[in-house]
Amino acid sequence: MSVVARTRSAVSPLRRPFFAYPVRRPTVDQVVAADRPEEPVHCLRPTVIADTASDFVQAFPGDVLYAVKCNPDPGVLRALHDGGVRHFDCASLPEIRLVRDMFPDAAIHFMHPIKARGAIREAWDRHDVRDFVLDSADELAKIRTEIAATGIPGALGLIVRIALPKGGAKLDLSGKFGACFDDAVDLLRAARGCAATLGVSFHVGSQCLDPLAWRDAIALTGQVIRVAGVAVDVIDVGGGFPVAYPDQDPPPLGAFFAEIESSFDALGLPGVRLWAEPGRALVAAGTSVVVQVQARRGDALYVNDGVYGSLADAGALGFRYPVRLIRPDAEAAADTTAFSLFGPTCDSADVMRGPFLLPADVAEGDWIEVGQLGAYGACLRTAFNGFDRARIVEVGDNPMGDTPVYQAESQQAA
């Protein structure tokens, strides 16, 4: 008997065909009142995403590459495209295929520093990807070998990612990728001879609240370029641009852009192009998730989504999200209580300490809207314990960051 190998894709229903449009309702409250959902509901706000993207694209002094890993939902990608995003930072072949299928004319950049050989070949040969990031001599050799094997000519772009010292971002990214100073110098020299476009990139870490982190990273980039003694075409300042959460109040994005632009100008590199790879800053406010309370025990609420679903970052990483109670048939108490949340699985690690401020009389059967989940919410869902079902709807109301409930919570947290 022959055995056929099978492959398994992510089970999240948010991995839907890009041509499929979800149900639309005017507001989240109307979703709850009409459907009384007993499973999590992802509430997508395409207009918010498009407007946020448009503002970022217009304000940033260079090319904006959306980091697809942050949220690859087709509705999100479509809204970003509507907002003017034409460049996409992809880290895998599935991301590349999705973007190319949706946007045949988009510029796709393969920004994972370590790639499978077959992924390099397919990206170059079938999807017209021409820019590849690297942080080692082995990866440079791999890219050159696999592209040559395709026999397809093209203008190769190589971006050398440099390592940064550990910083103060919410999620430090200094340990996994990036070439040290001397190795970066050698890579730039080696890549210059075969690259039509040569660049340097870095990443200050996710949810970085300090604009000066980019100043320091750009200064280090300039030192690497000067020592290498080669001309570069691109400086990629990566992602990490922050958004507001109840316990995190970053400066406005303009402060980050001003620091980037002034630091870049100080390098004195005319003709060099700036890139950025925002993810969270473009999409966080564009999705919220509605969960239902299944039980209350003191100041702990048991809800139907958790760290194995959309609330992964609220677990070990301790992210606090804005929350509000939705109770279609009655008023909620005016006073609030700090709650922790337990997810639906039988794993005791499925806990989100918060604290999450909600009306003191919250009870079983109530619904809670959790905001700022457009970033890394939908895409981190798993099928653990069988809790893999969720719906997606499009809504037209404002994101939770614009509501008095969120503002009051932010003030109390401060």
> 38: how many CB neighbours lie within 10 A of its CB?
12
The answer to whether 314 and 245 have CB atoms below 8 angstroms apart is: no
Alpha-carbon separation of residue 156 from 119, 121, 145, 195, 285 (angstroms): 16, 13, 12, 5, 36
Whole-number Å distance between alpha carbons of 208 and 239: 9
> 247: how many CB neighbours lie within 10 A of its CB?
14
Strand partners, 18: none
**If you compute the radius of gyration of the chain from its CA atoms, what whole number of angstroms results?**
22
The answer to whether 200 and 181 have CB atoms below 8 angstroms apart is: no
Whole-number Å distance between alpha carbons of 91 and 346: 32
Q: Which of 70, 90, 208, 346 is catalytic?
A: 346
Strands (E), 175-272: 197-201, 234-236
Under DSSP, the state recorded for 386 is G
346 is known as an active-site residue: yes
Q: Tell me which residue has tokens 């050398």.
A: 160
Under DSSP, the state recorded for 5 is -
3-state DSSP assignment of residue 293? strand
Q: How wide is the angle at C-alpha 236 spanned by C-alphas 233 and 237, nearest 5°?
A: 145
Whole-number Å distance between alpha carbons of 91 and 295: 40
> 6: how many CB neighbours lie within 10 A of its CB?
5
Q: Which residues are catalytic?
A: 346
